[in-house]
Amino acid sequence: MKQIQILLVEDDPVITEFLRTGLGYEGYAVSVVDTGNDALNIIRDTTFHLIILDIMLPDMDGFTVCRRIRNRELKIPILMLTVRKEVADRIKGLDSGADDYLTKPFSFNELLARIRALLRRAGNIRESTRIIQGTLVLDTNRREVRRNGRQIELTPTEFNLLKLLIRHPGRVFTRETLLNRVLGYDYDGGTNVVDVHINHLRQKLRDRPPILIRTVYGVGYAFHPDET
Amino acid sequence: MHLPAGKISLTAKLVFLYATLLISSVLLVSYYSYWNIWQLFITNKTSHIRARAKPVIEHWLQDQKITDPTSMAKKISRRNLLPLARDLTSKDTVAIILNKQGDIIASGKRLSEEPTPPPPNLKYVGKALAGDNEVTYWSKVNDKAILVFLIPLRLQPDSSTIFGAIQMSTSLADIDQILLRNGSMQISAVAIVLCGGVLLGYLLIRYSLRDLHSLTDTCREIAKGDFSRKPKITRRGDEIGHLARSFNLMINQLEKMFDSQKRFSANAAHELLTPLTGLRGSIEVLLRGAQDNPEVLNRLNKGMYKEVNRLIRICDQLLAVSKLENSCHVEKQKIKIHSFMKDFIQQAQLLARNQTVQLLQGPSLTLIADPDLLEQILLNLLSNAVRYSPANSTISIGWKSLGQTAEIWLADQGYGMDEKTLTHLFEPFYRGSSACKSETKGAGLGLTLTRTMVEAQEGSIHVNSSSGRGTTVSFTIPLASR
């Protein structure tokens, strides 16, 4: 699968840092520029699938950058970031050619969802609802899991846990990360609950060696697909 | 317009006052005119009767063939004088004739319908016998007002010998009747005038105060926060128009202050939101799994630390601004500019990075200022100059006298700024394009604060700059009067 290229136009170092890191973790390739002119220059030579554009830039505002990109008849999806919440500003942003508009401080999850939606609309990725790894098939639309054609009944938490693991085969997730991403950031319980869910999952999947959900001692869990 | 219970509206007060004035003046006028008419009637009647009596007396003298005082004295008897009394008596007037002692000699009353004459009053009779031709007085018979006048009886009108007096009394019933009719007419006229006057006054007062009511309504709308409502009666030339105009002026001023307050808080919120975005995003990315990588964890933590510090800086400056704007603790004292600047330049040299700070001595002056604020102003300006100046450049500080004030200036050979930046320079949270690139981001309140501090000491601040040519900031501080 080819990597999605995202151009981030933002001059605040901390926001740049977490976006670069966070989007990198989600599997996107991120390039960063901090001025409007740099942004206009870089898109001349490089093809991006999406641009995340801050409105307050040192040399020109985001609206101008957006209009200049559209004047070049480039149809790259543009997501605007701004602290201004007023309807007039949103209208101005969308009218200057942006495809979507997000106000600071935004939720990173929402940003990811909007990025996926924009990419889907632009036809850059046909996000398959079916994930096939070895003998395991997971359908995110029907929320259905089959192994060797046999349907397995899972609770929503177990389903989300499996979905996260199966999407990143081989990657080791710590218990904390799994807890945060499946049960939410504000879940206050201990990490033991993750072990309980993993155990249930393993039983329902009839996970026997070579095991699908492997324990990485002292760290967490990782998914390894079996051979078909 | 609704007034609290128990309060009387201005309209009611004015109408009451107006009605009271109107009623008292009308009553005064009608009483005066009534009295005047009465006087006129009396005078008229008196002279009429006197005029009628004169030929009757002369005729009687001729009739009795009286030519000298001696013959006159012989004729003073009831028999001789009765015809005279009869002749002088008419339907409403009765004459009686008195001798020199004041005794009644003859009475003209014969018919019962003729009024009864009042008994002679010796005090007035004495006056008449002493030669007074014009004795007239009031008397009462059976509770009816009677006008009495006395005519001395003598041979010739100018002769000094008096033989007696004729008392003529006349009832005033006819005058009373006329005046009563006239009075009732007058009362109804007064009532009509009063009713009409009060009504007209009420309408007039209401009309004049109508704009006051609309002004009150407008006030109430504005109190609800709708500044778009303005009084529309500003073209009136009177006091209410004047009030409306002053009111408009006040509203505009308030609106301006309100707007700047609103802009300030909106800007403050924006400024706070940017570091918060960094914090929230970094935490989210960490929670999503980035925390498992120690190197990334460290990097994001450092970023968050910076953002928290930035938030603290912004809050500090916001507090400083509001503190300075709310209660200006300015403790002014006399400051010798020479020694003050000498002390300051030592600090300044420590602050400079690679720049040279030089002091250009001006005239010896004594300022009236708060030394702490003055130092803070200079430090703020200096740190700006240091931040936006290249290494090995020179920053100069100096002063001069402008008569009533001293002008202190600080000039750098730095990057300067364009006109756009210059016009927005003192606005809260505004940062020039070069400031965005600077490493330590301020809150954009430094110069706002500086200006507030200068103005708190009754000074003003000016910036002269152009791109690439350096910047000169100068501000004024009042001089101590000698």
A138-141 contacts: CB < 8 A, separation 24 or more?
Answer: A138/A162, A138/A163, A138/A166
Given this model, what pLDDT does residue A51 score? Answer: 94
Residue of A15, A180, A220 lying closest to B288 (CB–CB):
A180
Residue of A nearest to B308 (CA): A14
| Judgement on whether residues B171 and B26 belong to the same structural domain of the protein | yes
Cβ atoms of A13 and B303 closer than 8 Å: yes
Q: Is the same domain home to B335 and B317? A: no
In angstroms, the CA B284 to CA A22 distance is 8
Q: What was the pLDDT predicted at A115?
A: 92
Residues B336 and B467 in one domain: yes
Question: In this structure, are B333 and B439 located in the same domain?
Answer: yes
Judged by CB atoms closer than 8 Å, whether chains meet at B288 and A13 is answered as no
Chain mean pLDDT for chain A: 85
- What pLDDT, on the 0 to 100 scale, is given for residue B438? 47
Q: Evaluate if residue B382 carries a pLDDT over 50.
A: yes
Which residues fall within 8 angstroms of residue A84, CB to CB, at 6 or more apart? A55, A103, B270
Asked, for residue B427, whether it belongs to a domain, the answer is yes
CATH of the domain at B288: 1.10.287.130
- Per-residue HEC secondary structure of B222-242 comes to HHCCCCCCCCCCCCCCCHHHH
Distance, in Å, from the CA atom of B135 to the CA atom of A36, rounded to the nearest integer, reads 120
Residue A180 in tokens: 């945060």
Sign of CA dihedral B386, B389, B393, B394: negative
What pLDDT does B436 receive? 45
User: Which residue shows structure tokens 């009637």?
Assistant: B41
Mean pLDDT of B413-419: 80
B223 pLDDT higher than 90: no
Task: Let me know: does B282 contact A23? Beta carbons within 8 Å.
Answer: no
Q: Has residue B408 got a pLDDT over 50?
A: yes
Which residue does chain B place closest to A15, by CA atoms? B278
> In angstroms, what separates the C-alpha of A28 from chain B's closest C-alpha?
14
Contact assignment for A105 to B304 by CB distance below 8 Å: no
In 3D space, the residue among A83, A3, A169 whose CA is nearest the CA of residue B429 turns out to be A83
**Which residue, of B297, B324, B351, is where some domain finishes?**
B324
Percentage of residues in chain A with pLDDT exceeding 90? 18
- What's the CATH number where B393 sits? 3.30.565.10
Q: Return the beta strands (E) in B12-143 as ranges.
A: 93-99, 104-107, 136-141
- In the block, tokens 């005058």 appear at B175
**Could you say which of B304, B324, B344 is where a domain stops?**
B324
Say whether B433 and A12 touch across the interface (CB within 8 A): no
- Asked if B285 lies within 8 A of A21 by C-beta distance, the reply is yes
pLDDT tens column, B464-480: 887 778 888 999 999 88
Answer whether residue B309 is part of any domain.
Answer: yes
Q: Give the three-state DSSP class for A158.
A: helix
pLDDT value of residue A19: 92
CB-hemisphere CA count at 13 Å for B90? 10
Cα–Cα distance for residue pair A215/A222, rounded to 1 Å: 7
Query: Which residue from B minimizes the CA distance to A16?
Result: B278
A175 CB within 8 Å of a chain B CB: no
pLDDT tens per residue across span B102-157 = 788 888 887 777 777 888 888 888 888 888 877 888 887 777 778 888 888 887 76
pLDDT band at A50 (very low <50, low <70, confident <90, very high): very high
In a domain, B220, yes or no: no
Is the Cβ pair A181, B289 closer than 8 Å? yes
Closest by Cα among B269, B372, B384 to B330? B372
Give the SS3 label for residue A223. strand
Does the pLDDT at position B437 exceed 50? no
The pLDDT-based confidence of B262 (bands split at 50, 70, 90) is: confident
**Claim to verify: residue B319 and residue B333 sit in the same structural domain:** no
Report the residue of B287, B291, B433 to disrupt the A interface, i.e. the one with the largest count of A CBs within 10 Å: B287
Looking at chain B, which residue has its C-alpha nearest residue A13?
B303
Q: Report how far Cα A171 is from the mean position of its chain's Cα atoms.
A: 15
The reply to whether B443 touches chain A by the CB within 8 Å rule is no
Between B276, B279, B303, which is nearest A13 by CB?
B303
Maximum mean pLDDT: which of A96-110, B218-232, B419-433, B455-469:
A96-110
**Same-domain check for residues B105 and B141:** yes
Contacts of A107 in chain B (CB under 8 A): 280, 284
pLDDT of A1 over the 60 cut: no
Other beta carbons within 10 angstroms of residue B228's beta carbon come to 8
Instruction: Tell me the one-letter amino acid at B358.
Output: Q
Separation in Å, CA of B9 to nearest CA in chain A: 46
Instruction: Please state whether beta strands A136-139 and A130-133 pair in parallel, antiparallel, or not at all (unpaired).
Output: antiparallel
Q: CA A4 to CA A27: how far, in whole Å? A: 8
CA distances from B219 to B194, B241, B251, B261 (A): 36, 15, 10, 21
Whether A19 and chain B come into contact, CB under 8 Å, resolves to yes
A71-117 confidence digits (pLDDT tens): 887 788 999 988 877 788 888 888 988 999 998 888 898 999 999 89
Peptide bond before residue B390 is cis, with ω within 30 degrees of 0: no
B463 and B340 within one domain: yes
Question: By C-alpha distance, which of A11, A108, A105, A23 is closest to A54?
Answer: A11
B194 inside domain: no
**Which A residues in the span 87-106 are in contact with B, Cβ-Cβ below 8 Å?**
104-106
Between A113 and B271, the higher pLDDT residue: A113
pLDDT at B241 over 90: no
What are B156-186's pLDDT values in tens digits? 767 777 888 888 888 877 777 887 887 788 7
Summarize the confidence of residues B347-360 as an average pLDDT.
Answer: 84
Other beta carbons less than 10 A from residue A100's beta carbon: 19
Contact A18 B276 (CB under 8 A): no
Indicate whether B169 and B28 sit together in one domain: yes
Q: What is the pLDDT of residue B442?
A: 58
Q: Give the residue numbers spanning the domain of B406.
A: 328-478
Taking a C-beta distance cutoff of 8 angstroms, is the pair B460, B475 a contact? Answer: yes
Residues B138 and B38 in one domain: yes
* A11, A109, A176 ranked by CB distance to B291: nearest: A176
For residues B104 and B144, state if they share a domain.
Answer: yes
CB-CB neighbors (< 8 A) of B288 in chain A = 22, 25, 108, 177, 180-181
**Domains of chain A from N-terminus onward:** 5-122 (3.40.50.2300), 130-223 (1.10.10.10)
Q: Do B285 and A11 touch (CB under 8 A)?
A: no
User: Is there a domain that residue B1 lies in?
Assistant: no
Q: Is residue B4 part of a domain?
A: no
**A vs B: CB pairs below 8 A:** 99
**Which residues in chain B have Cβ-Cβ distances shorter than 8 Å to A59?**
433
User: What's chain B's average pLDDT?
Assistant: 81
Chain B interface test: which of A17, A33, A55, A107 (most B C-beta within 10 Å): A17
pLDDT of residue B2: 58
The two structure tokens encoding residue A183: 């049960």
State whether residue B304 sits within 8 Å of chain A by CB.
yes
Give φ, ψ of A194 to 5 degrees. -65, -45
Stretch among B73-77, B259-263, B357-361, B430-434 having the lowest mean pLDDT: B430-434
| Concatenated DSSP letters of A83-118 | S---HHHHHHHHHTT-SEEEESSPPHHHHHHHHHHH
Q: Which of residues 247-286 of B touch A (CB under 8 A)?
A: 270, 273-282, 284-285
Grouping H, G, I as helix, E, B as strand and the rest as coil, residue A196 is: helix
Same domain, B333 and B318: no
For the four alpha carbons of B288, B292, B295 and B298, in that order, the dihedral sign comes to: positive
Which pLDDT score is estimated for A84?
76
Q: Is residue B204 part of a domain?
A: no
**Which of these three, B165, B180, B195, is where a domain ends?**
B180
Q: Using an 8 Å Cβ cutoff, are A179 and A161 in contact?
A: no
Alpha-carbon distance of B116 to B204, in angstroms, equals 58
A173 at interface of B, judged by CB pairs closer than 8 A: yes
A125–chain B Cβ distance below 8 A for any pair: no
Enumerate the residues of chain A whose CB falls inside 8 A of the CB of residue B289: 25, 173-174, 177, 180-181
Number of domains in chain B: 3
Cβ pair B288:A177 closer than 8 A: yes
B139 and B249 fall within a common domain? no
Residue B3 resides in a domain: no
**Are B306 and A14 within 8 A, CB to CB?**
yes
